[in-house]
Structure 1
Amino acid sequence: MSGTAERRCIDLPEVPALGGIYAAAVKKTAASRIGGVLPGGGRRRGADDDGRWQLPAVEHRVRRLRVDTGRLTRYQRLMGDTVREDLPSVFVHGLAFPVAMSVMVDDGFPLPLLGMVHLSNRVEHLRRIRPGEELSVRAWAEDLRPHFAGAQVDVVAEVGAGGEAVWRGVSTYLAKGVDLPGRTRPERPEKPVFTAPTRTGQWRLAADTGRAYAGVLGDWNPIHLTSLSARALGMKRHIAHGMYLAGRALAGAAPREGGYEWGIEFASPVFLPGTVDFSVADAEGGADPYGTVAFTGWRRGASREHFSGYVAPR
């Protein structure tokens, strides 16, 4: 993760509401279609003198954030997690997410937020985080690069407490069909054949799963709410939040003591309602590169992987 010396800090008075961020994204997308942009939604003011696209050299920051313990309890119950006195890692992601999204609607951000595909997350949960701690959040974007299907970017969020970083996360997003001027897309890699592991669980996700998650963590992205709102954005049906899937996986896989790191990669969406077959297994001593615990989710009765990931103690 890069340093902060080259980035201009923008202090936000509070954590922004995601509804306002999505509204700003709609407005920005509409404005980009009227004029003054490069093909694919990149703004000209996000380019350097040679026409290459640049990420805004800014960091958005909220200095003081308190956890709503009622919200925490609702999250734990939604995920089937143990109600305990420390913050689950995906809950922390949810606290930082609006600050990270505010970076993506910055005037200089060159990619369209609406329609972004969530590819993966990598997280360092550096120590146990207590609900009563006063937290800070900062976020920025880095490493804009070609992808075989378009352009991808990392959005980094860091949560601090007592003057130290306690959580860091990198979310990787894809803008499909967007070409970066002067840069060539890599070849599409060969997709390995998915073989389902031994099932250890099964999740039956109701049609309102996305609305239930949004009701707790505030992510009211229309692609997760109803089939009607998802179809308006080009989806055939609404889909589960990627971080809901990560939260469900981590509820049974994350260590109960100390720090840990984890990652997840998304292979295909989970349409709602739907059923996900799930596997979590000890990977210590095996060939799996992920670490202590590996988890996988796939479509019931089919060889179609939805996600895979790992959890490793620090």
Structure 2
Amino acid sequence: MTATSHASRNPRLVTLPSLPGLGGLYAKGVASSGRIAVTRSPVGRVLPGPRDLVLPDVVYRVDDVPTSGVTEHLTAYQRLIGERVCDTLPAGYLHVLAFPLATALMVRGDFPLPLLGLVHVSNAVSVHRPVGVGDVLEVRASAEHLRAHRRGVQVDLVTEVSTGGELAYRGVSTYLAKGFGLPPDEPPSRRIEEAPREEFVPPLPTARWELGSGTGRAYGAISGDRNPIHTSVLGAKAFGFPRTIAHGMYTAARALAEVGAARGDAYDWTVEFEKPVLLPGTVQVAITRVPDGAPHPGGFAYVGWHGRSGKRHFSGAVTPR
């Protein structure tokens, strides 16, 4: 068995007529997750069979995506997240726009990992130029860099948004599939271990978020991501959570909004997710300037944590380009 980012250096370009709807994709993902689950042993070793850990060798593309009619939806997103209401699509909104195309890749019959149970562990976004209401977009999505991890395997879902033939946005969402294993003869360079984390000492908070029990439903209504772990107590309990949890991209996008206009028109935005935010819940947040000589100089570091336990929920950086 093998593991590879793409079977060739020239993946097949598949053009779809429009961006798909997430509702139908999730239904398809439930069915495909059940099929993939039976190919694993109880200890997580992938059993011999026709399904190898090979990513689909395709790039999905949708041309001529209009934004002229998104003003009402964009405004609702901006108000929920705390972004300034304007005609510029922030990076978090572009993630929402492109996410269904990436999901369409993850529910393909030849995608080797189950949609249900994938854990979103990090995001790395580059905004090269602002995208405004009225721009006509090309959206692309691909799956890349399948690699081993001590708890399973990780994969990157890459989305790109271009306008006028120019790349405006690139987002890399990294997911962990627990319990999967790559072949024992896989080169050591592909067996990724987590670097030890430094002990987290909470800084002085600059904000305090009071997140109500309906936060997941509110973001789900705007983003289309109605995964039951975010919208249903029973659904959350089925996956081992005592209550619903906030969407990771809601918390990351809200931190981006807290940075505000200081990020500029072009910026890099990263986030790593750790402990999920249970709803209802309170999140302490600190956003600080990055000093010269440190990683991401001239930018902003942010972190969110649980006030009582001191456990970190997420951390990241926003750096003007």
Is TM > 0.5 for Structure 1 vs Structure 2?
yes
Change (3 A) 1:290 1:172: farther
Contact 2:125 2:171 (8 Å CA) reproduced = yes
If the length of structure 2 is used for normalisation, what is the TM-score?
A: 0.89
**SS of 1:130's equivalent?**
coil
2:219 is aligned with 1:219: no
- How much does 1:5 deviate? 5.5
Contact 1:89 1:125 (8 Å CA) reproduced = yes
Structure 1 counterpart of 2:207, which letter?
G
Match of 1:245 in 2: 251
Match of 1:131 in 2: 133
- How much does 1:217 deviate? 1.3
108, 114, 117: which one aligns with 2:116: 114
Match of 1:50 in 2: none
- How much does 1:218 deviate? 0.8
141, 151, 156: which one aligns with 1:149: 151
- Unmatched 5+ residue regions in structure 1? 48-52
Structure 2 counterpart of 1:297, which letter?
G
- How much does 1:191 deviate? 3.0
Structure 1 counterpart of 2:215, which letter?
T
Contact 2:71 2:87 (8 Å CA) reproduced = no
Report the aligned-residue RMSD: 2.1
2:172 is aligned with 1:165: no
Contact 2:62 2:139 (8 Å CA) reproduced = yes
**SS of 1:21's equivalent?**
helix
What percentage of aligned pairs have identical amino acids? Answer: 45
Contact 1:290 1:311 (8 Å CA) reproduced = no
d(CA) in 2 for partners of 1:205, 1:290? 31
Change (3 A) 1:76 1:244: same
Change (3 A) 1:171 1:291: farther
d(CA) in 1 for partners of 2:289, 2:193? 34
d(CA) in 1 for partners of 2:193, 2:97? 36
d(CA) in 2 for partners of 1:136, 1:201? 36
**SS of 2:313's equivalent?**
strand
Q: Deviations for 1:69-113, whole angstroms, at most 9, x for unmatched residues? A: 100000010012210121111000000000011111111111111
Contact 1:290 1:309 (8 Å CA) reproduced = no
d(CA) in 1 for partners of 2:308, 2:167? 42
Change (3 A) 1:45 1:11: farther
Match of 1:26 in 2: 30
d(CA) in 2 for partners of 1:239, 1:79? 16
Structure 2 counterpart of 1:219, which letter?
D
Contact 2:45 2:179 (8 Å CA) reproduced = no
